[in-house]
Amino acid sequence: MRIFDLFKRKPKSAKFKCSTCGEIHDELPALGFISPFYYDILNKKDKKEIAELSSDFCVITHEDQTDRFIRTTLEVI
Ligand SMILES: [Zn+2]
């Protein structure tokens, strides 16, 4: 077997219970994160004072720049 054959194999069953909606899905799960890495590395004070985080958006306002993030998912097919 060659290394790329691993990516060609289809799983027998990709069913899983979704931690978001609680239902069983047939396809492989999408990968996503609750918050961006740059939010996670802020200390508690900065998270409260310079950052805004919602389920889909994040804004971090630094003195010299404003960072904006939009939540996406990475679907594994
Ligand atoms: Zn779901």
For the chain, what is the domain count?
A: 1
Q: Output the pLDDT for position 68.
A: 98
Domain ranges, residue 48: 5-75
Mean pLDDT, rounded, for 12-41 = 85
- Name the more confident of 51 and 4: 51
Distances (CA, A) of 70 to 11, 29, 38, 55, 67: 31, 19, 12, 9, 10
Whether residue 33 has pLDDT greater than 60 = yes
Mind listing the pLDDT tens digit for each residue in 56-73? 999 999 999 999 999 887
Q: How far is the CA of 72 from the centre of ligand 1 (A)?
A: 15
pLDDT band at 1 (very low <50, low <70, confident <90, very high): low
Q: How far is the CA of 2 from the centre of ligand 1 (A)?
A: 34
Q: How far is the CA of 18 from the centre of ligand 1 (A)?
A: 5
Q: How far is the CA of 71 from the centre of ligand 1 (A)?
A: 16
Direct distance between the N- and C-terminal alpha carbons of the chain, in angstroms, rounded to an integer: 21
